[in-house]
Structure 1
């Protein structure tokens, strides 16, 4: 049976339509000179995605100033605001696909990107065109220069502030009705928290970015609950007897927001849990009077098989089959970087064809992540890691190998990510194992095109 990614590429070529770079194996380099120039100017600003976050200073004043100078574009559409340690992007993509299928114009703002910056901003299911993004960024840069000349709050705007306000400009100019907006980090003081959302979603709470958000799940929940707006509705699967869920429930009461919890009793996989959460949010929209093209209230019924296919994202439970030493090896890309999510991923894999038996992981872990917890999960699931290097924001492979050795987990170190991946394939072919690239979406982004090309060549060779 023809692979769905190959079918997408061939169909697009036959019809003469543009390729969607979020899902297809096309070149990811930036081609528009104006966008290259705009991003070059943005790169002169503080980018907390590239710097040690222990030094991070956050606040809404810079983006509020920027936005005011640009006509407050976030007021031109209604919004759903999504926070959580994991599941934000997949839940947001489900909402986007479902609303689009209902005939509602919708935008989605997400972070980080895996391969191309256009993944972060989509309009009606398509990544923003490079030229459109460039012009929005130049408007934001003009506002920044004016703020610097007048010494107002926006003079300290960050890279993420600028991209966020550019996204809102793009949504306004595209005339979208609804935007699904993911937080970047935390919630209360995140740049995205200038939106006045009708519905907020908090997918889950784990220990992440503890040097900024707090050392406990309750402290982190307080920050994420900061996205809930007075008299709005918050959707969360976290129960009231959970320490984080209790914080969210208390905040909802304080600001007279309604809290609704999806039924997860039949949700046994990551995908089914995301569907339950997104479905609950869609039900809330229906209660608010949002209707599909036929006039029927929107709701969880919109999430069908097509919506699930259209919402699949790169680097999230993304499965490939590639050749190695004459065998077909199952390869999974998933950027799980907190222990509870990696455990959920490995649970899901145990029920998938091709992922029984031993596993070999190519792993990179950022310095602010719970490396010991991630390695403990790998040991419990019988996954052998090969540690590799992504950037200086990540733990060194040698340090990770020491942590693994301390718990009796055998590992290898190969500094070059592609060489580490090829070694994993070689070992997998030898012992009938499968491979997972995990610990970081940045690692997935570095290797995704190579993995896709291997799969495509294999498919072509079988014809």
Structure 2
């Protein structure tokens, strides 16, 4: 095993420490490396649905406007370097090895036992500061208030739609979850709110008022008109109107994400950032965000989607109806994590597919596929193929040229199977590597 592989294995071993939600630890970790988060200007994004897509769109538009950007998202699909990108390129392998080893030495010497997420957040802030990014787009991990990224004081906060997910950590009501997500709203820092749920809106706008944060609220200060099934929309903001805006991502839910991204760009323009309409159009059109209604084979049609909770499954089903037609029933390959609301997800999907092959993704805490059989079998034929690649090969071998296969249920499942499809195209990774 080479040095990088051994070092990455060590880093992943930190997951055994679990998660510790105390920002004082993050403050201490960053103090030891010169507080790099204070040297960058950041847009901070939280929410239940769409925050990764919004982050990718913002990054794409800022790059189109000529800015040197950092983009931090989680989880990754195939490799850890995807989480930390500068100007669209993921951190290089040699760079990542150097950063991990340097930080490990510093924290070991200080006796600071960071969790996996704390360590990667510290590495991200240091890398972005060293790289001289002009704007970093930073997605929270879980929640917001006690998320390790929440040590940053951003130039703009963004809250995407709020729904039920990670209830064991965030609470069992929309109001409680919104309160946790709204923890990224900072005093006197503007916030864009894309939540429509009345309880979420009340909590978030109240937090913003308490913190004197200027609000741009969806359906009040900005709105959009979708042209679905075309990948186009009209955006209407406080001072910006863009008609027939083309989106590079499929699905009606991406129209909402695009509107939230453009509202965020409008807020940045109000602060003096030079982002013209051409840059917005090019950035939204050229955005790359793999694993979201992602067509990896056209004949037969094979789609990968990272939907992993009720809210994202609902968005996926709407996208299927718009993109494929309401009468099309895909062959489903499904695997999920044990902590998810899988009975509900099974009922939602089972009614809309021809049959399902249940499988088991390796990372984290996967649900055993046998537990899902009865829940799907109430709606469609169900079988088990525990190995994800064998499940894919089995289903694809049974497809006619005009058939459709859908693979979904977990980000980890999509990450595990993506290399299979990239190899078929002669590709290695999802993004270019810095310095390559």
With normalisation by structure 1, the TM-score equals 0.81
Matches within 5 A, 1:446-457: 446-454=416-424
- What's the counterpart of residue 437 of structure 1? 407
User: What are the superposed Cα offsets for residues 25-64 of structure 1, whole Å, 9 maximum, x if unpaired?
Assistant: xxxxxx9x5533432332332357xx6xxxx431112211
Q: Return the alpha-carbon distance in structure 1 between the equivalents of residues 67 and 388 of structure 2.
A: 41
- How far has the Cα of 1:428 moved from its partner? 3.3
For residues 382 and 45 of structure 1, do their structure 2 counterparts lie closer, same or farther at Cα, with a shift above 3 Å needed? closer
Matches within 5 A, 1:219-230: 219-230=176-187
Secondary structure in 2 matching 1:412: strand
Matches within 5 A, 1:185-200: 185-200=142-157
Secondary structure in 1 matching 2:323: coil
Q: Return the alpha-carbon distance in structure 2 between the equivalents of residues 355 and 421 of structure 1.
A: 24
- What's the counterpart of residue 248 of structure 2? none
Matches within 5 A, 1:319-398: 319-321=295-297, 328-352=299-323, 357-391=328-362, 393-398=365-370
- What's the counterpart of residue 213 of structure 1? 170
For residues 278 and 129 of structure 1, do their structure 2 counterparts lie closer, same or farther at Cα, with a shift above 3 Å needed? same
Secondary structure in 1 matching 2:70: strand
Matches within 5 A, 1:49-448: 56-148=19-111, 155-239=112-196, 242-262=198-218, 263-267=222-226, 269-291=252-274, 298=275, 302-304=279-281, 306-321=282-297, 328-352=299-323, 357-391=328-362, 393-405=365-377, 407-429=378-400, 432-448=402-418
Q: Return the alpha-carbon distance in structure 2 between the equivalents of residues 354 and 320 of structure 1.
A: 19
Asked if the contact 2:62/2:283 (under 8 Å) is kept, the reply is: no
Q: Return the alpha-carbon distance in structure 2 between the equivalents of residues 65 and 156 of structure 1.
A: 11
Asked if the contact 2:359/2:384 (under 8 Å) is kept, the reply is: yes
- What's the counterpart of residue 14 of structure 1? none
Q: Return the alpha-carbon distance in structure 1 between the equivalents of residues 379 and 317 of structure 2.
A: 20
Asked if the contact 2:64/2:280 (under 8 Å) is kept, the reply is: no
Secondary structure in 2 matching 1:64: helix
Q: Return the alpha-carbon distance in structure 2 between the equivalents of residues 332 and 92 of structure 1.
A: 22
Asked if the contact 1:279/1:301 (under 8 Å) is kept, the reply is: no
Q: Return the alpha-carbon distance in structure 2 between the equivalents of residues 443 and 160 of structure 1.
A: 20
Asked if the contact 1:320/1:455 (under 8 Å) is kept, the reply is: no
Q: Return the alpha-carbon distance in structure 2 between the equivalents of residues 319 and 309 of structure 1.
A: 17
Q: Return the alpha-carbon distance in structure 1 between the equivalents of residues 57 and 3 of structure 2.
A: 32
Q: Return the alpha-carbon distance in structure 1 between the equivalents of residues 338 and 13 of structure 2.
A: 23
User: What are the superposed Cα offsets for residues 186-243 of structure 1, whole Å, 9 maximum, x if unpaired?
Assistant: 111111111101111111112111111111121111111001111111112224x611
Q: Which moved more, 1:84-93 or 1:372-381?
A: 372-381
Secondary structure in 2 matching 1:165: helix
Q: Return the alpha-carbon distance in structure 2 between the equivalents of residues 436 and 346 of structure 1.
A: 11
For residues 455 and 170 of structure 1, do their structure 2 counterparts lie closer, same or farther at Cα, with a shift above 3 Å needed? closer
Q: Return the alpha-carbon distance in structure 1 between the equivalents of residues 425 and 39 of structure 2.
A: 43
With normalisation by structure 2, the TM-score equals 0.86
Q: Which moved more, 1:133-142 or 1:200-209?
A: 133-142
Asked if the contact 1:237/1:264 (under 8 Å) is kept, the reply is: no
Gaps in structure 2 of 5+ consecutive residues:
229-251, 428-436
